[in-house]
Amino acid sequence: MYKYDSYDQAMVDTRVAEFRDQTRRRIAGHLTEDQFKPLRLMNGLYLQLHAYMLRVAIPYGTLNSAQMRVLGDIADKYDRGYGHFTTRQNIQYNWIKLDEAPDILADLASVEMHAIQTSGNCIRNISSDQYAGAAADEIVDPRPYAELLRQWSSFHPEFVTLPRKFKIAVIASDTDRAAMRLHDIGIQIVRNMAGELGCAFYVGGGMGRTPMIAPLIRDFVPLDQLITYSEACLRVYNRYGRRDNKYKARIKILVHEIGKEEYSRQVEAEFAHLLTQGIEPPIAELERIVPFFADPAYDLTAPDAIDRSDPLFALWYDRNCHAHKQPGYSIVTISLKPVGGIPGDAPADQIRLMADLARDFSFDELRVTHAQNIVLPHVRKADLYDVWQQLDAAGLGTANLDGIGDIIACPGLDYCSLANARSIPLAQKISERFAAPEKQAAIGELKLKISGCINACGHHHAGHIGILGVDKKGVENYQLSLGGCEGADTSLGKITGPGFDEDGIVDAVEKSTEVYLSQRKDGERFLDTYRRIGMEPFKEAIYAKEPVNG
């Protein structure tokens, strides 16, 4: 994986020293909160319901074991013993003290990490496919291109005060595992008819209060023009994106209002101009980056067979292990969704265990997924049983990937100052309702996502079943939506009807699964059945009046 050069390290170290001085001046009373707030936000330090919250960037979700171990140590040393992995492949700490924040940034910098651009109206952490570099279905590892974009977007002077925040995802397979078309820019690395690599640009997607699926703006940008075309996309947005209304300031609104043709026309004009300016980094820079993401030294004799004699291991293998491009290896997803647990939360001991497993079994690499799980990308199949036993002993052996128990949930009103309702208790109740492995197995793939407010950090628009928490005259209320999907066939969920209270929404979810189980045809997932039969059968079941006794 990528290693900082002297410029990267100097930038991060300088920022730590700068923030240390800003923090000192704030505590001494030399800065007001209005003056200090934008400075702390530039360093990922929010003020949430109970304390300061620090959001740490994990570029394209990739970590090494030393970094992961430091994340665990930070949880112990500065927080309350746990961290929260987020839907943007980052980690958040919920109980940070202001005067210790610079020390945390220094600890992060010691392992080439930071919290820069995890807040504010700038280009945020670049996200990617959590299986990058390991998936059998990718045409190339997308991470060198994500890294190039990271370098371009870090401290980019033109794009530090955009109309709103800006999120970019990069993938390189037809199976979209990064919700690419629900980003401000989604980039898919593709091959053209001549076999050359390039990028398809999808621009203007997003969730939030106005969810939109990004339209294809250009189907092929040569790889040696990736940065120039990205710059053109951002420039047009920066020029015309609305700054008068934060709810209409995202690029999706601009693309929607002027139309993709007009937006594309303006981007092409800007692109043509920029090509004359020579802003593309030299190809030598990309050639410098690519070897950092070279395949690890696989054991070419690793056996492909799996001993399935332990049924619990076999269940976990079938559920949580994914095909690897290298025979004899598997991609392991560690579920951070135990029954009744808090999605994405991990205690420090678990974080350090996952670091150790990466060091011992996965060429020192881990990934954070946007579904709030952790991936060991390169595990020999012969080692899987050992890995699973260690995970299971630590409470990390839950076999529920992409099932109804693998719930995405934002922190919600338990932690977040923007939330209208709690998300986590719903996730806990639903996972408990569907705790039986045979029940989950019968339902199969069902992606359930919960947001505690319209900002949609829990991706509810993209859930096969989505839940949105709202404030109804001071009381939590939950809207149910069906039919969302974040994959190659991205779709947005539709609201079923009136909302529910906390218990009612759990019942409504269960009734939805009952409709699916009774109506499905062979091989259909929940989403397939919904798309075939439509909303009505679900509504009838969900809103059916209970018979009156007597």
Partner 1 sequence: MKILTGNDLKSGAVVWWDGSGWSLHVEDAVDAGDQADAILATESAARRVNAAYAIDGTRADGTVRPAHIKDRIRALGPTVRMDLTLKPADPEAGSWVI
Could you tell me which stretch among 49-57, 275-283, 458-466, 524-532 binds partner 1 (CB under 8 A)?
49-57
**Residue 77 Cβ vs partner 1, minimum distance, rounded to whole Å:** 16
Burial of 312-345, coded b for 16+ CB within 10 Å and e otherwise, reads ebebbbebbbbebbbebbbbbbbbbbbbebbbbb
**Residue 509 Cβ vs partner 1, minimum distance, rounded to whole Å:** 18
CA-based max dimension of the chain? 82
Task: For residues 387 and 397, give the distance between their C-alpha atoms in angstroms, rounded to a whole number.
Answer: 9
Task: For residues 542 and 404, give the distance between their C-alpha atoms in angstroms, rounded to a whole number.
Answer: 18
Sign of the Cα pseudo-torsion (18, 22, 28, 31, in order): positive
DSSP letter string, 178-217:
S-GGGSSEEEEEEE-TTS-EEEEEEES-B-TTS-BPPPEE
Q: Closest by alpha carbon to 275, among 237, 217, 222, 196?
A: 222
Tokens coding 20: 């240390």
Tell me the C-alpha to C-alpha distance, in Å, between residue 336 and each of 79, 369, 418, 491: 19, 10, 24, 26
Q: Which of residues 460-479 bind partner 1 (CB under 8 A)?
A: 474-476
Q: Which is nearer to partner 1, 204 or 344 (CB)?
A: 344
Task: For residues 187 and 152, give the distance between their C-alpha atoms in angstroms, rounded to a whole number.
Answer: 15
Could you tell me which stretch among 26-34, 169-177, 237-245, 323-331 binds partner 1 (CB under 8 A)?
26-34
Q: Closest by alpha carbon to 389, among 313, 456, 458?
A: 313
Q: Which is nearer to partner 1, 249 or 409 (CB)?
A: 409
Q: Pick from 6, 32, 277, 309: which binds partner 1 (CB under 8 A)?
A: 32
- 538 touching partner 1, by CB under 8 A: no
CA dihedral 424, 429, 430, 436 (to 10 degrees): 130
Q: Pick from 11, 49, 111, 216: which binds partner 1 (CB under 8 A)?
A: 49
- 96 touching partner 1, by CB under 8 A: yes
Tell me the C-alpha to C-alpha distance, in Å, between residue 104 and each of 229, 425, 541: 36, 30, 51
**Residue 233 Cβ vs partner 1, minimum distance, rounded to whole Å:** 35
Left, alpha or beta for 546 (phi > 0: left; psi -120 to 50: alpha)?
beta
**Residue 52 Cβ vs partner 1, minimum distance, rounded to whole Å:** 4
Tell me the C-alpha to C-alpha distance, in Å, between residue 175 and each of 64, 129, 138, 204, 223: 25, 9, 8, 20, 20
Q: Which is nearer to partner 1, 78 or 220 (CB)?
A: 78
Tokens coding 439: 């029940």
- 160 touching partner 1, by CB under 8 A: no
**Residue 92 Cβ vs partner 1, minimum distance, rounded to whole Å:** 13
Tokens coding 491: 């779709």
Task: For residues 20 and 187, give the distance between their C-alpha atoms in angstroms, rounded to a whole number.
Answer: 36
331-370 footprint of partner 1 as x/- string (CB under 8 A)? -----------x----------------------------
Q: Pick from 4, 11, 18, 52: which binds partner 1 (CB under 8 A)?
A: 52
**Residue 358 Cβ vs partner 1, minimum distance, rounded to whole Å:** 27
**Residue 427 Cβ vs partner 1, minimum distance, rounded to whole Å:** 9
Q: Which is nearer to partner 1, 396 or 413 (CB)?
A: 413
Task: For residues 55 and 43, give the distance between their C-alpha atoms in angstroms, rounded to a whole number.
Answer: 8
Q: Pick from 27, 136, 269, 442: which binds partner 1 (CB under 8 A)?
A: 27
- 97 touching partner 1, by CB under 8 A: yes
**Residue 78 Cβ vs partner 1, minimum distance, rounded to whole Å:** 12
98-117 footprint of partner 1 as x/- string (CB under 8 A)? xx------------------
**Residue 476 Cβ vs partner 1, minimum distance, rounded to whole Å:** 7
Q: Which is nearer to partner 1, 323 or 475 (CB)?
A: 475
Q: Which of residues 391-430 bind partner 1 (CB under 8 A)?
A: 413-415, 419, 422, 424-425, 428
Contacts of 392 (CB under 8 A, 6+ apart): 312, 316
Q: Which is nearer to partner 1, 29 or 550 (CB)?
A: 29
Q: Which is nearer to partner 1, 48 or 455 (CB)?
A: 48
Q: Closest by alpha carbon to 343, among 271, 276, 425, 261?
A: 425
Q: Pick from 29, 291, 311, 523: which binds partner 1 (CB under 8 A)?
A: 29
- 22 touching partner 1, by CB under 8 A: no
Burial of 80-92, coded b for 16+ CB within 10 Å and e otherwise, reads eebbbbbbbbbbb
Q: Which is nearer to partner 1, 36 or 530 (CB)?
A: 36
- 432 touching partner 1, by CB under 8 A: no
Q: Which is nearer to partner 1, 48 or 210 (CB)?
A: 48
Q: Pick from 11, 47, 394, 470: which binds partner 1 (CB under 8 A)?
A: 47
Tell me the C-alpha to C-alpha distance, in Å, between residue 343 and each of 86, 205, 289, 353, 449: 9, 25, 34, 18, 10
Residue 126 contacts residue 149 (beta carbons within 8 Å):
yes
Q: Which is nearer to partner 1, 5 or 503 (CB)?
A: 503
Q: Which is nearer to partner 1, 49 or 306 (CB)?
A: 49
Q: Which is nearer to partner 1, 118 or 188 (CB)?
A: 118
Q: Which of residues 192-251 bind partner 1 (CB under 8 A)?
A: none
**Residue 54 Cβ vs partner 1, minimum distance, rounded to whole Å:** 10
Task: For residues 476 and 80, give the distance between their C-alpha atoms in angstroms, rounded to a whole number.
Answer: 27
Q: What Rg value do the Cα atoms of the chain yield, rounded?
A: 23
**Residue 413 Cβ vs partner 1, minimum distance, rounded to whole Å:** 6
Q: Which residues make up the interface to partner 1 (CB under 8 A)?
A: 26-27, 29, 32-33, 47-52, 80, 95-99, 342, 413-415, 419, 422, 424-425, 428, 474-476
